Structures are given as structure tokens and as C-alpha cells.
Amino acid sequence: MLDRKVLFKNLAIGFLPLLVFVAADELFGLKVGLMVAVGFGLAEAGWVYFREGRLDRFILFDTALITALGGISFLLENDIFFKIKPALIESILAGLLAVTGFSTNPLLIRMTGRYMKGIEFNPEQIRHMRRMMRRMFFLVVAHVGLTLYAAFYLSTEAWGFISGGMFYILMGAMVTVEFVRTRWQRRKMLREFRDDEWFDLVTPEGKVVGRAPRRLVHGNPQLLHPVVHVHILNSRGELFLQKRADTKDLYPGYWDTAVGGHVRSGESIDRALHREAEEELGISMGNFRPLFRYVMQNRYESELVHAFLLEDDGPFYINKKEIAEGRFWNREEIER
């Protein structure tokens, strides 16, 4: 989602010259008001450059628009061109929101990447943000219409409030509603899934980007979550396989890797590896060697598999609640 501090800072930079114009126009008239507003906009851009050592593209564009429209209004002695400036800025924002919210291109989310270094979103989070941006689109379009109406038909004071203060009020109300709704949905989900096992949601590189209960993860292949697999070879080169218990919700009765299990939310890969090995085969000590990591996806779920190798002749103590049976297989048996 868009960084709210950056968004509101940039919007404030755009609206302050308008408030200055309203005050100067009321005190000194149209020409002085336009000159003061343009000068204030240029000074504002210079102050940001002095403080941050750079000129933000939004600020540059906003200052150029203030200067151009203010200059036209000054020459024609008509402030309408200056007054439509907020509507032009918001129309561009509405276009970005429309592309992001109503198409398959998350343009605005990608554009904000420079403000959110190192933060990644999973598909579920992106869908939530796109829904929010669709609602923001209609709010911004409505405000553009109000601003244009005020610019042409209402007083300068009314236009100043509608184009500036009202925008913050509307955005604040929307953010508040979204916050309350998100908290309510979160509490509802926690109550509904309080007895479920929870897993971290990760990127293909293993970076944690969220968490979800087992019932939601199983059945949604867009929710990538980590698992551990252990391949066991004995001194004769035979591969140990387990037959999954009939009570398993996935692939009951199928032969599978020697050890396999989910990584709990907040649990390290190493801790999950040793826990699963002990739970399923009674292996409390073992020299596990990392093999590889890959994404396994089917129509039911997506797993980030952390695979390990253990060389051990056994014997193993099979947990009958997890495994129906287990034994070593030679190459000929597997190929057959």
C-alpha cells in the first residue's frame, strides 16, 4: 500500500500554496494572491531540496503546474486556471488508481516501491490493496467534481475549503473506516481460526510477508508457505519412504518423502526440521545436510520446500498417528 506519510506530505505540499492564495486574495486581491501563491510554491520546493538534498518528482511537477497555471491566471486576470490545479492533480491520481484497481497492472503499487525498500506483498495482500484503491478511485473522482464545481460557481473561500480541507477530511474518514474494518475482520478471523495451526506466508526467496491459518492455506495455491522435507539414504544407497496415514487431509495412503511437515508461524527452518524428524520417525539427533529449496505448486496449495539429506541406516520409530508404514526402497523398486 502507498506509504501514508509520504502521500500526505506530498498532498500537503500541493495544497499549502492554495491556502496561501485564498488568504492573500482576500487581503490584497487577485494579482497579489497569484504572485504570493506562485512564490510560495517555488520557495516550498527550494526548502524541500535544502532539507533533503533532492527534488522529488511530485514536488517538481506540482511546482511547475502552480507556476504555469498561476502565470496564465495572472496574465488573463482570471483565477480559474489556478483554481482547477487541484482537480488536475487529483485526476492524475484517479487515473493511477483506476489502472491499479481495475486492471491487471498494479501500477501504483509498483511505483511506491522506492518509498518502501525491502517490503514485498503476497498476492492476497495485493488483491486487498487493489480493492481499497477501487474505493479510493470513486472518492477522488467525486472530489474532483466538487473542486471543479467550486472553482466555477462558488466563492474563493468555499473553493479553498473544498479543494484542500475537505480532501483531508474525506481521506481521513476513509482511512478510519478501512482501519476499523480491517481490525474487525482480523479479530473475526482470529476467533474463527483460534484453534488452527498458523503458518508464515513467504516469497519464493523465503522472506516472510504475512501469516495465515492452515484452513486458508490449504485450498489457496496463492498462499506460499514453508515446509521441510528430509530424504534419508542408508549405507546401501536405498531411499527411505513413508506411507502417509489415511487420516491425512492431503494425499492419504500415498508414499512420500521420509519426513515432511509444515513450518509453524515464527518457527525457524532448523527448529521445524528437528521437530518433524522427531515427531514422525523418532530422530532426535541427526546430521541433516541442506540440499536445495524449491516451490511446489498444485491446484490445492503452494509450498516453499526446504529439502535436506540424512544418511542413516535406522532403525526408526514410526509415529502411527502420522505414518501408516515406512521402509527403505532400492532403485529397482522405485522405478518399477
3 state DSSP class of 321 = coil
* Residue 118, φ and ψ in degrees, nearest 5: 80, 0
| pLDDT, greater one: 249 or 180 | 180
Q: What secondary structure does DSSP assign to 97-135, as a single string?
A: HHHHHHSS--HHHHHGGGGSTT----HHHHHHHHHHHHH
**DSSP 8-state assignment for residue 165:** I
Residues 252-281: what's their mean pLDDT?
Answer: 92
pLDDT at 277: 93
Which residues make beta-bridge pairs with 213? Answer: 198
Per-domain boundaries in the chain: 4-191, 201-335
Report residue 274's pLDDT band, with 50, 70 and 90 as the boundaries.
very high
**DSSP 8-state assignment for residue 164:** I
pLDDT at 139: 92
Checking if the pLDDT of 292 tops 60, the result is yes
pLDDT at 3: 43
Q: Give just the sign of the alpha carbon dihedral 310, 316, 321, 326.
A: positive
Q: Name the residue with cell 492476497.
A: 124
Write the pLDDT tens digit of every residue in 207-222: 888 888 888 888 888 8
Which of 115-119, 167-171, 329-333 bottoms out in mean pLDDT, i.e. has the lowest?
Answer: 115-119
| 125/280 Cα distance (integer angstroms) | 34
CA angle (166 as vertex; 74, 127 as ends), nearest 5: 115
Which of 167-176, 185-194, 238-247 bottoms out in mean pLDDT, i.e. has the lowest?
Answer: 185-194
Return the closest-CA partner of residue 260 out of 202, 313, 310: 310
* Strands 224-233 and 259-262, bridge-based pairing: antiparallel
Residues 233-257: what's their mean pLDDT?
Answer: 87
Report residue 79's pLDDT band, with 50, 70 and 90 as the boundaries.
confident
Span 201-335: which CATH code? 3.90.79.10
Checking if the pLDDT of 12 tops 60, the result is no
Percentage of the chain beyond pLDDT 70 is 77
Report residue 2's pLDDT band, with 50, 70 and 90 as the boundaries.
very low
Mean pLDDT of the chain, nearest integer: 81
Which of 164-168, 200-204, 266-270, 276-280 bottoms out in mean pLDDT, i.e. has the lowest?
Answer: 164-168
The answer to whether 241 touches 210, Cβ cutoff 8 Å, is no
Here the cell at position 72 is 496564465
Burial class from Cβ neighbours inside 10 Å (0-12, 13-18, 19+) for residue 261 reads: middle
| 83/148 Cα distance (integer angstroms) | 8
**DSSP 8-state assignment for residue 305:** E
| 288/294 Cα distance (integer angstroms) | 18
3 state DSSP class of 232 = strand
Checking if the pLDDT of 115 tops 70, the result is no
The model's pTM is 0.55
- CA distances to 192, 237, 254, 277 from 234, in Å: 45, 5, 22, 16
- Residue count (the chain): 336
Here the cell at position 259 is 519426513
Which of 11-20, 40-49, 85-94, 178-187 bottoms out in mean pLDDT, i.e. has the lowest?
Answer: 11-20
Residues 69-94: what's their mean pLDDT?
Answer: 77
**Torsion, CA 168, CA 172, CA 173, CA 176, rounded to 10:** 180
pLDDT at 251: 78
Report residue 289's pLDDT band, with 50, 70 and 90 as the boundaries.
very high
| Cβ neighbours of residue 263 closer than 8 Å, sequence gap 6 or more | 199, 200, 225, 226, 227, 228, 269, 272, 306
Report residue 4's pLDDT band, with 50, 70 and 90 as the boundaries.
very low
Checking if the pLDDT of 111 tops 90, the result is no
Residues 164-177: what's their mean pLDDT?
Answer: 85
Q: Give just the sign of the alpha carbon dihedral 165, 166, 169, 175.
A: negative
Report residue 103's pLDDT band, with 50, 70 and 90 as the boundaries.
confident
pLDDT at 239: 95
The answer to whether 260 touches 276, Cβ cutoff 8 Å, is yes
